[in-house]
Amino acid sequence: MSKVFFASARARKWRYSDSMPGKLESLLAGSIKEKYFDKDEWVAVKTHFGSDGAHRIVRPVFLRIIADAVKNSGAKPFVTDTVRIKGLDYLEVANRNGINHLSVGAPVVLADGLYGNDNIVIKAGEILNEVAIASVIHDASAMIVCSHVKGHINAGYAGAIKNLAMGGVSGRHRSCGWKCGRGSMHTLGEGLFKWDSEKCILCNQCAEICPLDCIEFKDARFEYDSERCWRCGRCTRVCPEGALTFPGDDLIFLKSLPEAAKAVLSTFRPDKVLYINFLTEIQPECDCMPAADVPVVQDIGILVSDDLVAVEMASIDMIRKQAPLPSSLASDQAVKAGQDILLDIHKKPYMTTIDEAVRLGLGSLEYELVEI
Ligand code: SF4
Ligand code: SF4
């Protein structure tokens, strides 16, 4: 049975070893062994840099502890993420969110280059066919998948699988464009937008959020550049009226995530990837949104495992035991203690993703929780 190591967010004694940074050090001292990383091996620490306004990411203090642990094992870490907006702007976002070489003690690099098109197409599965893996992740021989666990408007639950799938695949490829990028998970077919003029209030939020400036309104009519559009879905998600949609299917989307994650992991030896899930500041939406809401449950702690499904299942089990926090989206929606909070908030059957990950051989639902 796979082991999942856990450190609680509670500090029951006023000493460093009872703090979350102190406990993360202890967790990693027991987890990062020579079996994972070779001397001088480059280790990708894959995280999410967040966005302007979404500050509830894995904090730099934790990234630094992870980088230090990798260095202590004799290997060489770098912190990385794929481009979500224009590359230089995304590095600035990382910097503003506190992630830079000085703060994390390791180089901070864009996994798919300044333009988000430095990637390598590999075979995926029945849904996606092919995906463009960020070249830095594709070529790295070892990785720590460092995920901020939260809710997600489309995925319901977002943790390590989503971090690998959406975060390991680029927005677009030089030849196949968005169709082998992460947009192929977001939409179906040609991914053509449907704009409802009756619902649209011309607030312009969709145009403002577009990282590629693809959208404009001419004579109060929605227009967009379909060739350049990544199908990232940011515009549809911020639309307050539901006036902008593109074709999608919840179950296909949920199953496409582990398929993409499997493609990303296929570029690594199985014993070269470690997962760290941060169950902290568990807010309802993705870290790429233009704002972070307050958490829907209390901070829980940090989980470490080398089994992708086990670390996800343990995370879900722990969130399910939590009471919804007052003054949060969970309480707005009258979610009660004992209910599945993330399921009730977003109404997405997120276990589809986990079950598909098991079917694809990405790990085990059964785990042994080892608390430090
Ligand atoms: S999906 Fe929307 S926000 Fe994303 S690139 Fe296309 S038009 Fe812009
Ligand atoms: S965000 Fe929605 S309501 Fe606002 S302009 Fe765009 S389509 Fe219209």
Within this chain, do residues 209 and 357 fall inside the same structural domain, yes or no?
no
Ligand approaching nearest to the C-alpha of 239: 2
Tell me, yes or no, whether 331 and 203 share the same domain. no
Please give the pLDDT value at position 33. 64
Ligand 2 lined by 200 (C-beta under 6 Å): yes
With a 6 Å cutoff on the Cβ, whether 243 touches ligand 2 is yes
Find the domain containing 342 and state its range.
2-183+251-371
Residue 31 has pLDDT above 80, yes or no: no
Q: Whose CA is nearest to atom 8 of ligand 1?
A: 210
In this prediction, residue 29 carries a pLDDT of 87
pLDDT tens-digit readout, 237-290: 899 999 999 998 999 999 999 999 999 999 999 889 999 999 999 999 988 888
| Strand 273-279, strand 42-46: pairing | unpaired
pLDDT in tens, 33-52: 666 889 999 999 999 999 99
Closest residue to atom 8 of ligand 2, CA basis: 200
Q: Tell which one of 225, 234, 236 to mutate to probe ligand 1, the residue whose CB is within 8 A of the most ligand atoms.
A: 234
Number of domains in the chain: 2
Which CATH number characterizes residue 120's domain?
A: 3.40.50
Closest atom of ligand 1 to CA, residue 246: 1
pTM of the model: 0.95
| CA atoms of 306 and 30, how far apart (whole Å) | 12
Contact 94, 47 (CB under 8 A): no
Of 229, 245, 261, the residue that ends a domain is 245
Residues 77 and 224 in one domain: no
Q: For residue 217, list its beta bridge partners.
A: 222
The answer on 160 and 131 residing in a single domain is yes
> Are residues 19 and 68 part of one domain?
yes
Q: Give 160-218 pLDDT, tens digit per residue.
A: 999 999 999 999 999 999 999 999 999 988 889 999 999 999 999 999 999 999 999 99
- Condensed to tens digits (0 to 9), the pLDDT of residues 311-324 reads 999 999 999 999 99
Please indicate, yes or no, whether residues 296 and 200 belong to a single structural domain of this protein: no
- Give the model's pLDDT for residue 189: 87
d(CA 162, CA 186): 12
Q: What is the mean pLDDT of residues 86-109?
A: 96
CA of 59: how far to CAs of 48, 281, 349, in Å? 10, 10, 29
Q: Are residues 268 and 334 in the same domain?
A: yes
Altogether, the residues listed in the chain come to a count of 372
pLDDT at 30 over 90: no
| Closest ligand 2 atom number to CA of residue 215 | 6
Verify that 199 and 310 share a domain, yes or no.
no
